Amino acid sequence: MAVTIDGKQIAEDVVSKVKASAAELIEVTGITPGIAVVIVGEDPASQVYVASKGRKARECGFHSVQHTLPEQTSEDELVKLVETLNADPAIHGILVQLPLPKHIDSGRIIQTISPDKDVDGFHFINVGKLGTGELETAFVPCTPEGSMLLIDRILGRDLSGLNAVVVGRSNIVGKPMFNLLLAHNATVTIAHSKTKDLPGLCRNADILVAAVGRPQMIKADWVKPGATVIDVGINRIPAPERGEGKTRLVGDVDFADVAPVAGALTPVPGGVGPMTIAMLMANTLVAAHRSAGKTPPRF
């Protein structure tokens, strides 16, 4: 039976380190790590995410600012706000909550954020640094960064000799996950909807990362015995057993089916999810250290 990887506990360890390091930075330099979160419109899921990020930032002792803009905000107005935040020395991390309304070009907004404050890791400069192995100065997207930390806890930082398969090729998870695994010396394959014999490919993986957005797609016969399985998927499916109209969260991996085969496995919820916000706090702390000319902590 697989070891269940407790993302909630590991995230709490990261946050504890962030709190201690932030307090030390404030004491030594007088600089309080600052994060600005920008949300445009009334999307309920985005409202929940933004509120949780704000709470976590305050818990870490950060200066936390939220800009809530109406749905009809123009692209140029949003660009001006981001440029103002770029110039604000009290703000070290800028996060623009996605998705944005359809009339706003998300790409333009993301590329407007200063690469030094891009704690989401989406700016082309940070993408390029990750792709060329410049991990010391890159900001890495928080979900793959958190997933990598879970893998580190199970297998260590050096993955030499291990085969990894990433199912999913998104810019937010799949591609950065590929680059992180490669930087840790794994032999990495990215699989996707056009991959031939996907189950067979997955069965060769010592490390299997599922980030495809299809509920419970990966079954036991897709998994190599003893493999470490990281489930990035968050899917809501009907749960009639809980009552009419009720739903429940599941991942891209069929947890109950895969658990007897895998060596280690993340649950959904409670696996990768908590790591995402924890790594956002870590990235903001790193940005504050860099702005102060101090060596940032490692996670």
Measured CA to CA, the distance from residue 190 to residue 164 in angstroms comes to: 9
- 47 part of the active site: no
Measured CA to CA, the distance from residue 270 to residue 6 in angstroms comes to: 7
> For residue 131, what are the CA distances in angstroms to 49, 116, 144, 177, 281?
28, 17, 13, 10, 23
Q: Catalytic residue, from 17, 56, 97, 224: name it.
A: 97
Q: Catalytic residue, from 56, 117, 118, 120: name it.
A: 120
- 53 part of the active site: yes
Q: Catalytic residue, from 53, 56, 117, 224: name it.
A: 53
CB 139 within 8 A of CB 118: yes
Q: What is the CA radius of gyration of the chain?
A: 19
Flag whether 41 is marked binding. Answer: no
Flag whether 156 is marked binding. Answer: no
- 118 part of the active site: no
Flag whether 168 is marked binding. Answer: yes
> CA 109, 110, 116 angle in degrees (round to 5)?
125
Spatial CA neighbour of 72 closest among 33, 101, 94: 101
> For residue 81, what are the CA distances in angstroms to 39, 109, 142, 211, 286?
11, 10, 23, 32, 23
Flag whether 170 is marked binding. Answer: yes
List, as residue ranges, the binding site.
168-170, 234
Q: Which residues are annotated as a binding site for NADP(+)?
A: 168-170, 234
The catalytic residues are: 53, 97, 120
